[in-house]
Amino acid sequence: MKHRSRWVSAGIIVIAILGIGYGWRTNHYTSHFLNGTEIGGVQVGGQTAQQAAETLQTKLANQEYRVSENGQTLTTFSSREAGLKVYSTSQLKTLMAKQNAYAWPVHTISASADDQKLSPSSLNSTDLNHLAAQVVAKAGKNRTKTHNAKIVYSNHAFSIQKPVYGTEINQTSVKNALENAVESHQTTISLKKAYVKPTVLANSKSLVAAKTKAEKLAKNKITYTITDHKVKVPSDTIASFLTTKNGQISTNNSRIQTYLTKLSYKYGTIHKARHFKTHSGRYVKVPAGLYGWSIKVTAETPKLAKTVLSGKTTTRTPVIQGSGYHKNGADIGSTYVEVSKAAQHMWIHKNGKIVISTDVDTGKPPKGTTPSGVWVVWSKQRNATLRGYNDNGTKYASPVSYWMPVDNTGVGIHDSPWQPRYGGTWYLTHGSHGCINTPPSVMKHVFATVPLETAVVIY
């Protein structure tokens, strides 16, 4: 019993000594950093706040950093240039108060405890941005772009194209790389750390799903009704419209615009010369003018893009601009104005019949020659004043009772009370500045008979 009592007494003494030691060490770490504590890569374990402040000031405040690429130094900078503000003694005391002093045995065993790797303090964002901009400028613009993985269409099939890991950098990526380096006390910084990385990889679930969706969308049936034509958008063409953005299916609207432009050129009439059948039955070739229509590509592009992405079978008429669009394919139609410069005569056709026939005076050659073309009555005005310049350079202002402009240079049809004669060769010496001078007694009927948007064929 005596031996057992001795062992118990000894154990109590050991425990007491250990307890005293543990308490002393715990109290010690209320005024000292735990073992393994790093601030900006600098070891301050076991130091007081004042000692740590001095250590950080020595090692961090005037630290030099080097940015390199492929073994070549691009630039160097100091911690001051990066806007580094080292912790003061009072700030370090605040940090120390947050550490768990009772856990000191753990830090004695494992001196690299993650929770004790602290940043060196704040970095000035403005200084860091300025420094990043300098690095970007010195790195140069001739760099390989980084591209996400994407779906591509080739040989009638979709596939996933791998991402491109380029050498592209930007101010944000460089700023992050510099910040990470300074905070982890890396004095040599590889610019590769700042390379922009692709955010969508070839095995991305969203990209694989997008490929499946694209294959389905390409099989959709989209048909355009253009005048009396039915135009089916080919599957290969629909497929060429599809692309990926951030791993999601979208449309390449520039390709849609190209397709619609070709479609407009093929079926539209605004740019086309006409083989026009005159009042006598003779055919003449008349150049294009303002009359005609085309597909309004800028308005139709988003509509076709939406239709493609909807995956729904669709038949639609594209957005049309201009004049003279008829569902039956007719162009000039049966109501139009015909002007022969050679005959100095004008005929008003309405619903297939000539309702007005009159001599006129067209432009005096060569400066005032009336332009040939298929034009359009785009406005009708009463009591207008026509202004311009005479052949000798003087200005004129001619009041008219009826004014119907037809082109974009100031040419139109109007009454001309100053003209004593019409028809024949009078226009060669007394013609207009380009307009179709019409007898006042006839012009009021022309004005009443011809509606807006009527074609005016001048040849």
Q: Which residues are part of the catalytic machinery?
A: 414, 435
CB 136 within 8 A of CB 171: yes
CA angle 107, 113, 118 (to 5 degrees): 115
| CA 93 to chain centroid | 52
The structure tokens listed for 434 are 């380009």
Tokens 């004008």 correspond to what residue? 346
Element housing 437 (H / E): strand 436-438
CB 104 within 8 A of CB 26: yes
Among residues 85, 74, 55, 266, which one has the least CA distance to residue 167? 74
Contact 69, 80 (CB under 8 A): no
- Burial classification of residue 119, based on how many CB atoms lie within 10 Å of its CB (0-12 exposed, 13-18 middle, 19 or more buried): middle
The single residue listed with the structure tokens 């005569």 is 345
Angle at CA of residue 81, ends 77 and 84, nearest 5°: 115
Q: Which amino acid is at 35?
A: N
